[in-house]
Amino acid sequence: MKVTLKNIDTGVIKTSPTGYSWTTLFFGFFPAMFRGDLKGALIGFIGGCFGAWIFFAIFAAFYNKLYIKDLMEKRFTYANEETRQYLIENGIIHDNA
């Protein structure tokens, strides 16, 4: 599944895959770098220097959730109800109702 997020200030829309990041497992820190996620790329680069495949197998398990949380901190919010439901079910946002 992919989630769609929209920046509150600029209206920029980004989509992000969810779940296990197979691209991170196979390509290391490059997917984060191509997404413009410098924090994720730096974590991946440093972690990869110490344990390459083992590190990326573990990091890939939570990288997409980390990326979505970072976007939320940068004033992105859900762009549709399906994304909102996913974010609530996975504890990324809390239902205020």
Structural domain boundaries of the chain?
2-89
Q: Give the CA dihedral 54, 34, 41, 90, nearest 10 degrees.
A: -70
Let me know: does 79 contact 4? Beta carbons within 8 Å: yes
**Mean pLDDT, rounded, of the chain:** 92
Q: What is the pLDDT of residue 91?
A: 87
For the cut 90, the answer to whether the pLDDT of residue 52 exceeds it is: no
pLDDT of residue 96: 67
Cα gap 57→55, rounded to integer Å: 6
Torsion of CA 60, 61, 62, 63, to 10 degrees: 20
Dist CA 18 CA 5 (whole Å):
12
pTM equals 0.88
The pLDDT assigned to 97 comes to 52
